[in-house]
Amino acid sequence: MKIAIASDHAAVDLKAELADWLRAEGHEVDDLGPATADRVDYPDFGYKLAAAVASGAAERGIALCGSGIGISIAVNRNPACRCALVSEPLSAALSREHNDANVLAMGARLTGVDMAKACVSAFLSTDFGGGRHAGRVEKLSQPAL
Cα torsion through 48, 17, 120, 95, rounded to 10: -40
- In this structure, are residues 79 and 50 in contact, taking their beta carbons and an 8 Å threshold? no
Q: Examine residue 111 and state whether it is found in any structural domain, yes or no.
A: yes
Find out whether 27 is annotated in a ligand binding site.
Answer: no
Q: Examine residue 60 and state whether it is found in any structural domain, yes or no.
A: yes
- Which one from 27, 81, 83, 98 is the annotated catalytic residue? 98
Give the pLDDT score at 143. 72
CATH classification of the domain holding 69: 3.40.1400.10
CA gap 74, 2 in Å, rounded: 21
Percent of the chain's residues with pLDDT above 90:
89
The whole-chain average pLDDT of the chain stands at: 96
* 80 phi and psi angles, rounded to 5 deg: -85, -5
Q: Examine residue 145 and state whether it is found in any structural domain, yes or no.
A: no
Q: Examine residue 135 and state whether it is found in any structural domain, yes or no.
A: yes
Q: What is the DSSP letter of 109?
A: T
Active site residue 98: yes
Q: Examine residue 132 and state whether it is found in any structural domain, yes or no.
A: yes
Looking at the DSSP bridge assignments, the partners of residue 126 are none
Domain count, the chain: 1
pLDDT tens for 53-112 read 999 999 999 999 999 999 999 999 999 999 999 999 999 999 999 999 999 999 999 999
Find out whether 95 is annotated in a ligand binding site.
Answer: no
CA gap 68, 74 in Å, rounded: 10
Q: Examine residue 18 and state whether it is found in any structural domain, yes or no.
A: yes
Q: What is the DSSP letter of 78?
A: S
Is the pLDDT score of 31 beyond 80? yes
Domain span at residue 74 reads 2-140
Q: Examine residue 112 and state whether it is found in any structural domain, yes or no.
A: yes
Find out whether 69 is annotated in a ligand binding site.
Answer: yes
- pLDDT bucket at 131, cuts 50 / 70 / 90: confident
- Which one from 27, 65, 83, 133 is the annotated catalytic residue? 65
Q: Examine residue 39 and state whether it is found in any structural domain, yes or no.
A: yes
Find out whether 70 is annotated in a ligand binding site.
Answer: yes
